[in-house]
């Protein structure tokens, strides 16, 4: 080993073992949502999307085989529910749950 690599090795080792200050409080983890609540929220997201989607697409897919109608509808409904509707519904549920827990704690 040459002299330059000997002087930088301890600095690298110190940087890798850095510990954050002990006074930092860990962030509180959100409470887990019950599987029954998740199922209800998911149904609340999916049912209106399917109902509206079926009515809107009925004239376009009137002569389609039912399997292809279902496939086309789910290609639109599932991503819309997963990426748009469900995150908003879970956020609303989280706000309501926090409000309920803070009012019960006072």
Q: How many domains does the chain have?
A: 1
CA dist list (Å): 63 to 59, 73, 74, 77: 9, 14, 18, 20
Phi then psi for residue 27, to 5 deg, are -70, 140
Residue 77 neighbours by CB under 8 Å, 6+ apart = 46, 49, 50, 53
Q: Find the domain containing 41 and state its range.
A: 32-105
pLDDT tens profile 21-44 = 665 555 565 668 899 999 999 999
Instruction: Decide if 60 is inside a domain.
Output: yes
Over residues 9-27, the pLDDT tens digits come to: 555 555 556 665 665 555 5
Does residue 87 lie in a domain region? yes
Structure-block tokens of residue 26 = 């860990």
Residue 18 lies in a domain: no
Does 20 fall in a domain?
A: no
């Amino acid at each position: 080993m040459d002299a330059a690599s000997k002087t930088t090795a301890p600095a690298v080792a110190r940087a890798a073992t850095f510990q954050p200050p002990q006074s930092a409080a860990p962030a509180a983890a959100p409470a887990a949502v019950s599987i029954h609540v998740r199922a209800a929220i998911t149904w609340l997201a999916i049912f209106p999307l399917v109902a509206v989607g079926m009515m809107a697409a009925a004239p376009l897919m009137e002569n389609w085989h039912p399997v292809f109608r279902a496939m086309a509808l789910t290609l639109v409904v599932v991503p819309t529910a997963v990426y748009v509707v469900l995150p908003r519904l879970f956020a609303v549920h989280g706000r309501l749950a926090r409000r309920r827990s803070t009012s019960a704690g006072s």
